[in-house]
Structure 1
Amino acid sequence: MKKCMFVLLILSSILTGCWDKRELNELGIMLAIGIDKVEDEYRVTAQVVVPSEVSTKTSTGRSPVILYQENGGTVYEALQKITKESPREMYTGHLRMLVLGEDLAEEGIAKSIELLSRYWEIRSDFYVAIAKDMTAEELLNVRTTIENLPANEMFNTLKTPEATSTSTNGFTLDELIANLTSDGKEAVLTGILVKGELEMGSNKQNVESITPAAQIKYDDLAVFKKDKLVGWLTERDSRGYKAILNNVHNSVTAISCPKGGKATLEIIQSDSKIKGKINKGKPEVDVNIKVKGNVEEVECQINLNDQETIVELEKNTEKQLEKTINLTIETAQKQYKSDIFGFGEAIHRSNPKEWKKIKEQWDEEFSEMTANVKVDVKLVHTGTEGNSFLKKIEVK
C-alpha cells in the first residue's frame, strides 16, 4: 500500500502543472524576423521587445526594441546563435512580421522559410513582406512613430481595412506557402521600404519630429516565379491584381466625367469570378467582376439626379477597370510569364484531363492564353448632396 501511494505521489507531481512553463519575465519576445543572404550564409535579424521600455511605469525613454543579429549556414543556426547571445530565452510565439531581403528573394526564398513553416512554437498568422531596394536588416532598424514597436506598426497597417484600398496586400506564411506549392498559381508578396533618410531611421530624433526623417511604407507587389522574385508590379498593376483576386474593399478610384473633369468613386463591394475552359484546344479564362460603388467627390459638370448620367458614369468606370485589369494581365503574361492570378488552377478545376497535358509547359501556355474580362458596375449612392455646389459657383 505504501509503495502504491509513493507511485501516485510521483505521478501527480509529473502530470500536474505545465512542465515546460516559462515565465514572461524570463523570455525575450521576438516580434519580427529579417532574413538576408550574405555571400553563402543567412543573416538573421531579430527585433526583440525591451520589457522595461514598453511599461509606462519603468520606461526611461530608450528604444522599446533591440536588434540581435547573427549569420549562419542555415536560418536555424543563425537563430540558435541569437538565443545564446541574448540574456533571455527567445520566444517566437508572438511573431508579427517576417521581412525578406530583396537579394535573398531574387535567389529564392523557399529554403529560408522552411524552418518557420515547421517550427512548433511559431504561429503562421504573421505577415511576410519583401524589403524593396534594401536589406531586411536595414528596414528593421527603423524606429516608428504611431506604434512604438515597429513590428506592431507594420502588422497593424496591413491588417486594417484601409490597407485593402491601396495597392498593398497582406500575405501570411500559410498563404505564401500555398501559392508557392500550387499547380497553376504563382506567389506575390507586398513590398516594404523606407521613405526618406534611411541612416536617420534608428535615431531617437526620428520619432520626436512631426515629420520623421525616415518612415516605413508599404509599396507595390513583388512577383514570383516558383520561389524567386522576378520583378515588381506598378501601382496600377497591383490594383488590377487585387481586382482579379477579389481583394478590393473600400477602394477609391478617379474616373473621367462625360464632358471633362473628374469624379471620385468608392468601391464598397466587389465580387470576382474566374472560370477556366478549353476553347479549340487552347486554354482560356473568363474574368467576371461585379462592383458596387458610391459617388464620393465630383469635380465636373454633371447632373447626378439624371439616371442617364449615372449610367454613363457606370460605363466609364467599367471601361477604366477593364483597361487596368487587361494591362495587368498583359504585364504578367509578357513581362514576367508568371501566373499570379491562378488561371492555371481555374483550367485545372474545369478540365483536369487537359490540365495534365499542358501543366508542364504552363508558362508558355499562360503567356499566350486569352483572358476575357468583363466588369459590371452599379453606383448605389451619390452622397447627401444631389449635385455638386461647384455647378452653382460656375453659373454665378
Structure 2
Amino acid sequence: MRIKLILIFSSLFIMTGCWDQYELTELGFVIAATLDEGEEDAIKLTLQVYKPSGDDTGVEQFHISTEADNVYDATRDFVIHLGRKTNWSHMQSIILSEDLVKAKAIDELLDFFYRDIEPRSTVNVVIGEGEGRDFLNFEPLIESTVGRQIREGQRQGHQLSGKSIDTTLFDLSLEMKSEVNDTYIPYIIPDHTNKTAPMNGVVLLKDGQMTTHISGEETQYLIMLKDQFKTGVIKIPLLGNSQGEEEEKMESLKVLSQETNRDVHIEGQHISVKITSELDVILGEIFQTKLETEEEKEQYVQYIERIVEERLELMIERLQEEKIDPINMGNQIYRENPTEWKTLKEDWRENFANIEFEVDVDINIITSGFFQSKPFLSE
C-alpha cells in the first residue's frame, strides 16, 4: 500500500499540463508584420493574419492594425480585436517603413521580436519605401502569402542577382552586436504596374538608423567588398564606346562565382588594405565585342577588370565620405589585431575614412556561351 501511494504522488509531478497551452481555435497566426509611424510619435503595428478556411482554395488572410507607444504594447491590443491570442511562430517577414527607421533606432523597433519566445530568428527583415502596411495589399504572384513572397525575393535576389541581401533577425543581431554596428538591410519598393514589391538594393544603417539608399546595381559591388556576392549579371559598357553618345550601350556578363580577400596592414594610426577580388564569368550578351584571338581576349579581360575595380573604388569612396563601415573592416581588424583595435576603436569612423585602399580584380572568362566569342548574328 505504501509503495502504491508513493507511485501515485510521484506521477503527479510528471503529469502536469502546460500553463500556457492554447487550442488552435484560440490562436491567430501572424504571417507578416509591418511597422509604421503612428500619430503623436506612436508606432503603428499592422499584422497579416492567417484566416482559417474549410476549403482548399488557397491561404486566406486579413490585415489588422493597432497603435501604441511601443511595439510590445501594440501587440497586446490585437486580442481585443481578434478574440484570439496572436502567435508569431509562423511569421515570414517584418517590413519597416523608411520614415520610421529614419526617426527611431532599429534596435528599439525590433526589441520585442528578439525577446519574445515565438518569433523565429530566421524571420526576414526589410525596409520599405513609403508606408509598410501598403505592401501587404499586394497579391503574391507565386507564393501563398505576401510575407513569403518578400522572404523569397530577398533570398533569391541575393543568391541569383546580387542586387539585394538576405537578412534575418539572426543576421541583423550579429551585425548590430559586433564591434562596429554599421550594416545594411534590403530595400523594397512598390511596383504598381506589376502589382509587386521588388527588392531594390539596400539601405545603410549607421548606429541603428537609416542613412542612405544603395541601388540594386551598386549593391552588387557593395556586397563584393564583403565577400557576400554569389552570382548575378553585371553590365559593362562597350569597349571603345564613344563618350559623346547620349545613351551608353551595355553588354552583360554573368558572374558564376566571386571571392574577395582583404589583407590589412597597420602601422600606428595608418591603415592600408589590399582588396583582391576574383570573378569567374561567362559572356551573357554581347553586341560588338569579338574575342576570336588571344590578344582580343586579353584586352577585353583587362578592360573588364578596370571597370570592376573602378566601381569597387567608387563604392569605397562613398562609404568613406559618409564615415560608415558596413563592410566590417573594423570587425576584421578586431579579430586579426585585437591589440591595435583597442587604440583604433575609439575614433573608428575617422580611422575608417582615412584607410588607404588598394583594389585588384582578376577576371576569368570561363566560356563565351553556347555558340562563339562574337555577336551571334555577325558574319
Q: TM-score, normalised by structure 1?
A: 0.85
Partner AA of 1:101 in structure 2:
S
Which runs of structure 2 are paired with 1:238-277 in the superposition (5 Å)? 238-258=219-239, 260=241, 262-277=250-265
The question of whether the paired residues in 1 share the 8 Å contact of 2:190 and 2:197 is answered with yes
Which runs of structure 2 are paired with 1:49-60 in the superposition (5 Å)? 49-52=50-53, 55-56=55-56
Which residue pairs with 1:314 in the alignment? 301
| 1:19 Cα deviation after fit | 6.6
The question of whether the paired residues in 2 share the 8 Å contact of 1:275 and 1:350 is answered with no
| 1:284 Cα deviation after fit | 2.1
The question of whether the paired residues in 2 share the 8 Å contact of 1:258 and 1:312 is answered with no
| 1:91 Cα deviation after fit | 1.1
The question of whether the paired residues in 2 share the 8 Å contact of 1:237 and 1:327 is answered with no
Which residue pairs with 2:16 in the alignment? 14
Does structure 1 residue 356 correspond to structure 2 residue 342?
A: yes
Which residue pairs with 2:90 in the alignment? 94
The CA distance in 1 between the partners of 2:28 and 2:159, in whole Å, is 30
Which runs of structure 2 are paired with 1:165-176 in the superposition (5 Å)? 165-176=161-172
The CA distance in 2 between the partners of 1:301 and 1:67, in whole Å, is 53
The question of whether the paired residues in 2 share the 8 Å contact of 1:274 and 1:287 is answered with yes
Name whichever of 153-162 and 266-275 sits farther off.
Answer: 153-162
Which residue pairs with 2:246 in the alignment? none
The CA distance in 2 between the partners of 1:262 and 1:142, in whole Å, is 33
Segments of structure 1 that go 5 or more residues without pairing to the other structure are 197-210
Give 3-state SS (helix, strand or coil) of 1:215's partner. coil
Does structure 1 residue 292 correspond to structure 2 residue 294?
A: no
Count of aligned residue pairs for this structure pair: 367
Which runs of structure 2 are paired with 1:1-396 in the superposition (5 Å)? 1=1, 2-14=4-16, 21-38=21-38, 39-52=40-53, 55-56=55-56, 64-107=60-103, 108-132=105-129, 134-160=130-156, 164-196=160-192, 212=194, 214-258=195-239, 260=241, 262-279=250-267, 281-302=269-290, 304-334=291-321, 336-387=322-373, 388-392=375-379
The CA distance in 2 between the partners of 1:267 and 1:301, in whole Å, is 18
Over residues 228-256 of structure 1, what are the superposed CA-to-partner deviations in whole Å (9 max), with x where a residue is unaligned?
Answer: 11111233431211111122222112224
The CA distance in 2 between the partners of 1:309 and 1:273, in whole Å, is 28
CA distance 1:365–1:156, shift in 2 (3 Å) = same
The CA distance in 1 between the partners of 2:167 and 2:117, in whole Å, is 20
Over residues 104-160 of structure 1, what are the superposed CA-to-partner deviations in whole Å (9 max), with x where a residue is unaligned?
Answer: 21121111111211211111001111112x122222233333234111111112222
The question of whether the paired residues in 2 share the 8 Å contact of 1:283 and 1:347 is answered with no
Partner AA of 1:317 in structure 2:
I
The question of whether the paired residues in 1 share the 8 Å contact of 2:32 and 2:48 is answered with yes
Q: TM-score, normalised by structure 2?
A: 0.89
Give 3-state SS (helix, strand or coil) of 2:302's partner. helix
- Computed over aligned residues only, the root mean square deviation of the Cα atoms, in angstroms, reads 2.3
Give 3-state SS (helix, strand or coil) of 1:29's partner. strand
CA distance 1:177–1:372, shift in 2 (3 Å) = same
The CA distance in 2 between the partners of 1:357 and 1:3, in whole Å, is 69
Partner AA of 1:36 in structure 2:
D
The CA distance in 1 between the partners of 2:332 and 2:341, in whole Å, is 10
The CA distance in 1 between the partners of 2:87 and 2:112, in whole Å, is 15
Give 3-state SS (helix, strand or coil) of 1:194's partner. coil
The question of whether the paired residues in 2 share the 8 Å contact of 1:245 and 1:272 is answered with yes
Partner AA of 1:94 in structure 2:
H
Q: What is the percent sequence identity of the aligned residues? A: 22
The question of whether the paired residues in 2 share the 8 Å contact of 1:236 and 1:324 is answered with no
The CA distance in 1 between the partners of 2:277 and 2:131, in whole Å, is 38
Which residue pairs with 1:206 in the alignment? none
The CA distance in 2 between the partners of 1:223 and 1:184, in whole Å, is 13
The question of whether the paired residues in 1 share the 8 Å contact of 2:157 and 2:164 is answered with no
| 1:164 Cα deviation after fit | 4.1
Partner AA of 1:232 in structure 2:
H
The question of whether the paired residues in 1 share the 8 Å contact of 2:46 and 2:133 is answered with yes
Segments of structure 2 that go 5 or more residues without pairing to the other structure are 242-248
Name whichever of 324-333 and 260-269 sits farther off.
Answer: 260-269
